[in-house]
């Protein structure tokens, strides 16, 4: 089946700076594709080229198997991180204005219900909370009934409850048949929402696949966590991969059964034990490094 979007050997340069370096990927219709990477990795530039905001230096972008045409802009929705809107308009009035820009706009009552805007649709959008504003911006991105939806860090700055609420709405949008391209710095969000992710660094895609496949390929075993007080003997005498930080002991193991048997044989108190499986955040840090980038 022809993917809804195919990016082939895309490169974007600014003089000597190579922002995007010969990347390729394809996105099946109806899926959620995550584009991840540290600051400066090239993911925002990639999105802006795909969205037709910036011209590519070289490479090819196909939409439904063909070069993008003028109708492409009418068939995509974009939720930007920051959007300037007319402050004197209410949520409902703003949605109505945006709908008039398209020949086949979404039914506003259905859109308000889908994005959970009912309680504040007659408020001015400048008075909305962070979670309310993000749901409102998502509604604006959906007002033209897009086939392809771009979400650029949609939950940045939201508290955990508002973030989870937004995830459920995104799941509903995806279930309606729309294709989603997502950028985010929250690895839990990518793991929860995405069918496939591509991790970028220094303009290149350095890993791509389902979250589960990437975890399996780039992480090993599990981590057993115990308070230091659970151990009677010096940690260096344990025949295990042990690290202590701030009174908490972390044990890396690829064989949890053997590890627990060893701990029991050493009479370690397991009452306060926690066991953590690797996740997409571990993959991200293993591939891109653990040092903060500005």
CATH number at residue 53: 3.40.50.300
* Section 8-13 average pLDDT: 98
* Section 244-271 average pLDDT: 92
Q: Which of 184, 216, 248 is the last residue of a domain?
A: 216
Residue 146 has pLDDT above 80, yes or no: yes
Give 190's contacts (C-beta < 8 A, 6+ positions apart).
34, 36, 182, 184, 197, 211, 280
* Section 116-142 average pLDDT: 92
Q: What is the pLDDT of residue 121?
A: 94
Q: What is the pLDDT of residue 292?
A: 44
* Section 249-272 average pLDDT: 92
Burial class, 64, CB count within 10 angstroms (exposed 0-12 / middle 13-18 / buried 19+): middle
Is 128 among the domain residues? yes
Q: What is the pLDDT of residue 208?
A: 97
Q: Do 200 and 250 have their domain in common?
A: no
Q: Do 92 and 70 have their domain in common?
A: yes
Residue 268 pLDDT class (50, 70, 90 cuts): very high
Q: Do 186 and 261 have their domain in common?
A: no
Q: What is the pLDDT of residue 20?
A: 97
* Section 131-150 average pLDDT: 94
Q: What is the pLDDT of residue 84?
A: 78
Is 47 among the domain residues? yes
Q: Do 43 and 121 have their domain in common?
A: yes
Q: Do 170 and 262 have their domain in common?
A: no
Is 101 among the domain residues? yes
Q: Do 19 and 69 have their domain in common?
A: yes
* Section 182-208 average pLDDT: 95
Q: How far apart are CA 184 and CA 187, in angstroms?
A: 7
pTM: 0.86
Q: Do 209 and 236 have their domain in common?
A: no
Q: Do 227 and 212 have their domain in common?
A: no
Residue 88 pLDDT class (50, 70, 90 cuts): confident
Residue 270 has pLDDT above 90, yes or no: yes
Residue 104 has pLDDT above 50, yes or no: yes
Q: What is the pLDDT of residue 83?
A: 77
Is 290 among the domain residues? no
By percentage, how much of the chain surpasses pLDDT 70? 98
Helix (H, G, I), strand (E, B), or coil: what is residue 246?
Answer: coil
Q: What is the pLDDT of residue 291?
A: 53
Q: How far apart are CA 274 and CA 277, in angstroms?
A: 10
Q: Do 93 and 165 have their domain in common?
A: yes
Q: Do 71 and 169 have their domain in common?
A: yes
Tokens 């939950």 locate to 155
Is 106 among the domain residues? yes
For the chain, what is the domain count? 2
Convert the pLDDT of each residue in 154-168 to its tens digit.
Answer: 988 888 999 999 999
Convert the pLDDT of each residue in 21-66 to its tens digit.
Answer: 999 999 999 999 999 999 889 999 999 999 999 999 999 999 999 9
Residue 293 has pLDDT above 60, yes or no: no
Nearest to 258 by CA among 289, 293, 221, 291: 221
* Section 130-153 average pLDDT: 94
Q: Do 46 and 113 have their domain in common?
A: yes
Asked if 13 contacts 7 with a C-beta cutoff of 8 angstroms, the reply is: no
Is 74 among the domain residues? yes
Q: What is the pLDDT of residue 290?
A: 55
Nearest to 90 by CA among 54, 128, 56: 128
Is 288 among the domain residues? no
Q: Do 171 and 258 have their domain in common?
A: no
Task: State which residues form the domain around 77.
Answer: 5-216
Q: What is the pLDDT of residue 237?
A: 87
Helix (H) / strand (E) element for 127: namely none
Residue 294 has pLDDT above 60, yes or no: no
């Amino acid at each position: 089946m022809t993917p809804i979007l195919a990016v082939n050997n895309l490169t974007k340069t600014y003089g000597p700076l190579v922002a995007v370096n010969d990347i390729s990927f394809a996105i099946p219709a109806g899926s959620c594709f995550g584009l991840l990477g540290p600051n400066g990795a090239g993911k925002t530039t990639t999105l802006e080229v795909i969205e037709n905001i910036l011209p590519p230096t070289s490479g090819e972008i196909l939409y439904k198997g063909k070069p993008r045409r003028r109708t492409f802009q009418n068939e995509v929705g974009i939720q930007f991180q920051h959007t300037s809107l007319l402050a004197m308009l209410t949520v409902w009035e703003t949605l109505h204005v945006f709908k008039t820009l398209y020949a086949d706009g979404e039914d506003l009552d259905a859109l308000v219900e889908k994005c959970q805007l009912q309680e504040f649709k007659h408020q001015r959008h400048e008075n909305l909370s962070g979670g309310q504003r993000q749901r409102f911006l998502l509604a604006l991105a959906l007002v033209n009934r897009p086939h392809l939806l771009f979400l650029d860090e949609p939950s940045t700055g939201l508290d955990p409850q508002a973030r989870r609420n937004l995830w459920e709405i995104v799941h509903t949008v995806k279930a309606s048949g729309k294709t989603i391209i997502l950028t985010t710095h929250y690895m839990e969000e990518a793991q929860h929402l995405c069918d496939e992710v591509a991790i970028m660094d220094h303009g290149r895609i350095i890993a791509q696949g389902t979250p589960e496949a990437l975890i399996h390929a780039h992480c090993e075993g599990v981590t057993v966590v115990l308070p230091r007080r659970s151990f009677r003997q010096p940690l260096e005498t344990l025949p295990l991969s042990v690290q202590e930080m701030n009174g908490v002991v972390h044990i890396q193991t690829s064989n949890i059964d053997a590890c627990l048997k060893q701990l029991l044989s050493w009479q370690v108190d397991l009452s306060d034990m926690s066991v953590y499986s690797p996740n997409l955040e571990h993959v991200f840090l293993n591939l891109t490094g653990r040092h903060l980038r500005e």
